[in-house]
Amino acid sequence: MTKATESEGLVVVTGASTGVGAATAKELARRGFHVLAGVRRESDGVDLRAPGVEPVILDITDDDHIAALVARIDDDPQGRPLRALVNNAGLPGAGPVEATPLSEWRRIFDVNFFGHLALTQALIPALVRAGGRVVNISSLNGKISLAGYGPYSSSKFALEAMSDALRNELAPYGVDVVVVEPGGIKTAMAGRGTTDLSRLSAGMNQEQTERYGHLMKALPDHIAAFTAAGMTSEAAALGIAKAVTDRKPRTRYILGGAANFLIRASRFLPDRVLDRLTTSDLRKHYPS
C-alpha cells in the first residue's frame, strides 16, 4: 500500500477500547488511515477519539452492530474504500479442559472465533472491491497449547485454521489474509483472566480440585509472569501496522522473543519434548 492509497482508505480495528486495539488504531491513524475503532461503550471512545480515529459502537457478537458498521463503510461520506480489517477483539480463557464448563468454552469461542468470523464474512465484499486485507490477531497460544490454556488456545487455533482457508479462497481476488502471533503483551486482559480463574476454581468439585488444584494455583502467577515479560501495547501495534501496510505481506508475523523461540521450536521439536519444555516452565509457579 502506498501513502496515497493509505490516506484515502478506511481500516476497521475491533477491540479498540484499550490496550493493543487502542494503540493500533492510533498508529494506523498516524500513518494516514481513517480508522473505525470498535468499542463496546460510548464512554470507551471518549479518550480514543482523535484525528483519523472514529470510535464506533461494535460488539462483534451483535448482528445489528455488524450491520451498522457495514452501512457506515458502504455510505462513507468521502467514498473511501475499506483497506483492512484488523480482528483484534478477544477474551482471555484459562482452566483445565475437564473443569471448564461448556458455557465458558462457548463464551470464549463466541468472541475469539465466531465474532471474528461473522464480521469478516460481512466485510469481505467491501474488501474484495478495494483489494483490501484481513489481519487476524492470533497468539503464541494459537500455535502452542499447554496445561490450563486449552479454552483460549483452542479458540486461537480455530482462528488460525480459518485464516489459512480464507487466505487461499481470497487470494485470486487480491485480498491478503495475514495472521499476527504475539507472545506476552502488557495489558489488563491478563488480570481479567485471573479473576475468571478464581470463579472457576470455586466451582470445581472435590475430585477436580484434587486433580487440578496445584495447576489452578500456578496459572495466575504464570500468566502474570508471562505478561510482565512481554512487550508494550505500542510495540505490538507497530508489528500489527506492519502487517497492515507491507506491500507484500508475509502470511504470519510473530511478535516478541518468547513467541519467536517457541513457535519456531515447535516446528522441529517432537511433541513430547515440547510438552516437557512448556510444563517445566509452568511448574516453576506451582505451590511448594
What confidence score (pLDDT) does residue 195 get? 76
CATH number at residue 121: 3.40.50.720
Number of domains in the chain: 1
Per-residue pLDDT averaged across 274-279, rounded?
Answer: 92
Q: Which residues are catalytic?
A: 152
Per-residue pLDDT averaged across 91-118, rounded?
Answer: 96
Predicted confidence band of residue 4 (pLDDT cuts 50, 70, 90): very low
Of the chain, the percentage scoring pLDDT greater than 70 comes to: 95
Measured between its terminal Cα atoms, the distance across the chain in Å is 54
Query: Has residue 3 got a pLDDT over 50?
Result: no
Its domain, for residue 251, covers 3-283
Q: Answer whether residue 288 is part of any domain.
A: no
What confidence score (pLDDT) does residue 246 get? 97
What confidence score (pLDDT) does residue 198 get? 87
Q: Answer whether residue 269 is part of any domain.
A: yes
Q: Answer whether residue 154 is part of any domain.
A: yes
Q: Answer whether residue 121 is part of any domain.
A: yes
pLDDT tens profile 242-260: 999 999 999 999 998 889 9
Q: Answer whether residue 271 is part of any domain.
A: yes
Altogether, the residues listed in the chain come to a count of 288
What confidence score (pLDDT) does residue 189 get? 63
Q: Answer whether residue 59 is part of any domain.
A: yes
What confidence score (pLDDT) does residue 287 get? 87
- pTM confidence score: 0.92
pLDDT tens profile 172-224: 999 999 999 998 888 766 556 677 898 999 999 999 999 999 999 999 999 99
What confidence score (pLDDT) does residue 192 get? 65
Q: Answer whether residue 165 is part of any domain.
A: yes
91/116 Cα distance (integer angstroms): 12
pLDDT tens profile 64-79: 999 999 999 999 999 9
pLDDT tens profile 126-165: 999 999 999 999 999 999 999 999 999 999 999 999 999 9
Contact 200, 95 (CB under 8 A): yes
Q: Answer whether residue 196 is part of any domain.
A: yes
